[in-house]
């Protein structure tokens, strides 16, 4: 372990905590503890595993306000958002606690002479790696299903925002998690690489950028170890003339400026049917101009800072480049108090007339930057939506239910929201295609991710010839 890493707040640049970081030797000990605990935890009855998850959910709710405040200080997200995310984390533990004893196999009727069935087996040691934009809820989403289905979990939060994930690890210990069953390791990319490359890790579940995801997937593939990669996005929002334009404008603004644009699902490419384009843009401009950037701990603020100084600098550079190539439709006033000027502040901005091959239109910026263009019909809207390497999510705004279902079917993305945006639930599978990754978390897909199928053949009539052999008589 190494000491002295300072965790700072994006709100004002102040130091929140100084923490220890894992190194190669301490990471080896972490994995060894997980391996030692894996077989016992696999054999622990599902209802006992569920009891631990329910206990953690209760403790999360008892500390909801404290965890939310810490998350806001560390990430810069609105306090209203972090409160919702902490509650969502508690529900996540409850959901998988309720799921723990409901993963069953099947009996396969192969014919006379055999009783053949399947079981679902946990992988063993699961490495979960989460990004800096929503560390607490992401930590819950990695740890809870792993433990529910009989795996042990090693979670690595981002170096910049580890504090609430560390607290979750403490809550698991307080609630009686056996040693080695749930561990949180802090460190930089070297620790993540060490986890993924460790031959004792049996499954890797990663959320992060497409660039990092490629390295994670390649390293896991070298060991022939399964992985799930939930990566970035450049999600389109399609607004048709028959949509409720006020509702669509509210959804579009929330979809690109919410969490200061730091969402893999950010709806950062807007396409509007030409006949209502100007009318809709007027609504959009008014909403963007009215946003209030400020201290995320205050109820009056609607947009907080970016989580890291590096991310804020990246967003500003993209905005400067886009201003040279396109036209600013609207930009939120950026006025913060003098005592917060050291924070990572950026203003939401919407652009028109950007070339479709401009990097601000192609790249995942992870900041509150929106590009706007028009389309003439549904075919063109679909083509524009698909003009990206990503395939995580899409928003569709229309009053035509038939069109809604047709386009929802045709859109090559993992999630489609119709007349809403940015709604998630542990019951609903989530993941992407293309450069947005592969594998699905949540819902009925979760057991398929965290367990593997085993087939068992039992001869019930010893001495009976095998089906593929001829009768020796």
Catalytic residues, which ones? 230
Query: Using alpha carbons only, what angle is made at residue 286 by residues 281 and 290, rounded to the nearest 5 degrees?
Result: 145
Q: What is the 3-state secondary structure (H, E, C) of the chain?
A: CEEEEEEECCCCCCEEEEEEECCHHHHHHHHHHHHHHHHHHHHCCHHHHHHHHHHHHHHHHHCHHHHHHHHHHHHCCCHHHHHHHHHHHHHHHHHHHHHCCCCCCCEECCCCCEEEEEEEEECCEEEEECCCCCHHHHHHHHHHHHHHCCCEEEEECCCCCCHHHHHHHHHHHHCCCCCCCEEECCCCHHHHHHHHHCCCCCEEEEECCHHHHHHHHHHHHHCCCCEEEECCCCCEEEECCCCCHHHHHHHHHHHHHHHHHCCCCCCCEEEEEHHHHHHHHHHHHHHHHHCCECCCCCCCCCECCCCCHHHHHHHHHHHHHHHHHCEEEEECCCCCCHHHCCCCCCCCEEEECCCCCCHHHHCCCCCCEEEEEEECCHHHHHHHHCCCCEECEEEEECCCHHHHHHHHHHCCCCEEEECCCCCCCCCCCECCEECCEECCECHHHHHHHHEEEEEEEEECCCCCCCCCCCCCC
**Contacts for 438-446 with beta carbons within 8 Å, 24 or more apart?**
438/228, 438/229, 439/205, 439/227, 439/228, 439/229, 439/230, 440/228, 440/414, 441/141, 441/145, 441/205, 441/228, 441/230, 442/141, 446/96, 446/99, 446/145, 446/149
Q: Greatest CA separation found in the chain?
A: 95
Neighbour-count burial of 2, counting CB atoms closer than 10 A to its CB (0-12 exposed, 13-18 middle, 19+ buried): exposed
**Residues in the chain, how many?**
473
Structure tokens given for 17: 């905590």
């Amino acid at each position: 372990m190494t000491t002295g890493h300072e965790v700072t707040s994006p709100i004002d640049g102040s130091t929140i905590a100084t923490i220890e970081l894992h190194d190669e030797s301490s990471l080896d000990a972490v994995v060894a503890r997980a391996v030692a605990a894996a077989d016992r935890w696999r054999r622990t009855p599902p209802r006992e595993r569920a009891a631990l998850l329910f206990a953690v959910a209760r403790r999360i709710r008892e500390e909801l306000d404290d965890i939310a405040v810490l998350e806001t200080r560390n990430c810069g997200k609105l306090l209203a958002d972090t409160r919702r995310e902490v509650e969502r984390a508690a529900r996540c533990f409850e959901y998988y606690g309720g799921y723990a004893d409901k993963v069953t196999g099947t009996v396969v009727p192969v014919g006379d002479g055999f009783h053949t069935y399947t079981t679902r087996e946990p992988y063993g040691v699961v490495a979960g790696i989460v990004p800096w934009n929503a560390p607490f809820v992401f930590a819950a989403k990695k740890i809870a299903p792993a433990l529910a289905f009989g795996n042990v979990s090693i979670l690595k939060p981002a170096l910049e925002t580890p504090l609430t994930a560390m607290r979750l690890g403490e809550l698991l210990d307080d609630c009686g998690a056996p040693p080695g069953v749930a561990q949180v390791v802090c460190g930089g990319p070297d620790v993540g690489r060490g986890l993924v490359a460790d031959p004792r890790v049996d499954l890797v579940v990663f959320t992060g950028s497409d660039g990092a995801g490629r390295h994670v997937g390649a390293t896991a593939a070298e060991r022939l170890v399964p992985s799930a990669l939930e990566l970035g996005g450049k999600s389109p929002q399609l607004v048709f003339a028959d949509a409720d334009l006020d509702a669509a404008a509210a959804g579009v603004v929330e979809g690109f400026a919410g969490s200061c644009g730091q969402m893999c699902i950010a709806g950062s490419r807007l396409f509007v049917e030409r006949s209502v384009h100007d009318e809709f843009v007027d609504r959009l401009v008014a909403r963007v101009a009215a946003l209030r950037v400020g201290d995320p701990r205050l109820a009056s603020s609607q947009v907080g800072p970016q989580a890291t100084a590096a991310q804020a600098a990246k967003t500003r550079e993209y905005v400067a480049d886009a201003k040279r190539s396109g036209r600013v439709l609207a930009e939120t006033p950026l006025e913060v108090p003098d005592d917060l000027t050291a924070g990572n502040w950026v203003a939401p901005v919407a652009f028109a007339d950007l070339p479709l091959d401009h990097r601000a239109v192609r790249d995942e910026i992870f900041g509150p930057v929106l590009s706007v263009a028009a389309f003439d019909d549904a075919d063109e809207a679909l083509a524009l939506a698909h003009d990206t390497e990503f395939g995580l999510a899409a928003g569709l705004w229309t009053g035509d239910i038939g069109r809604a279902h047709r386009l929802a079917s045709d859109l090559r993305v993992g999630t489609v929201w119709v007349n809403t945006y940015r709604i998630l639930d542990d019951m609903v599978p989530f993941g992407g295609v293309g450069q947005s990754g592969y594998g699905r978390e949540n819902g009925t897909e979760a057991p398929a991710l965290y367990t593997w199928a085993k087939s068992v053949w039992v001869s019930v009539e010893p001495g009976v010839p095998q089906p593929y052999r001829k009768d020796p008589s």
